[in-house]
Amino acid sequence: MPCYRLRTTTVGLHQEATRPVAITIPAGSFLRVPDAIANAAGVEVEWHAWTVQVFVIDLRDRGELIKAMSATSGAK
């Protein structure tokens, strides 16, 4: 699974019980990303134990692609 490390703080949406809530994802965070994001406006990513929606353009502009990470790599 591809992974991005954020160079700058980014906003994402986390689905709470009844509504989505905007959250701040700090610079330096690692986001696990599904393989196919080329034509999507937004994408669900894994950040820590949360599923968060971010804009693909933010991911590309504010993050750097890191090689696929294993579950034991330690990045969260």
pLDDT at 41: 84
pLDDT at 47: 93
Cα–Cα distances (Å) from 38 to 7, 35, 56, in that order, read: 20, 9, 8
pLDDT at 17: 87
Q: What is the DSSP letter of 19?
A: S
Higher pLDDT, 69 or 28: 28
pLDDT tens-place string over residues 39-65: 678 889 999 889 999 999 999 899 999
Let me know: does 33 contact 1? Beta carbons within 8 Å. yes
Of residues 55, 62, 56, 61, the one with CA closest to residue 29: 62
**DSSP-H helix ranges across the chain:** 56-62
Q: Which residue has the tokens 């599904």?
A: 34
3-64 sits in which CATH class? mainly beta
Question: Rounded distance, CA 59 to CA 2, Å?
Answer: 12
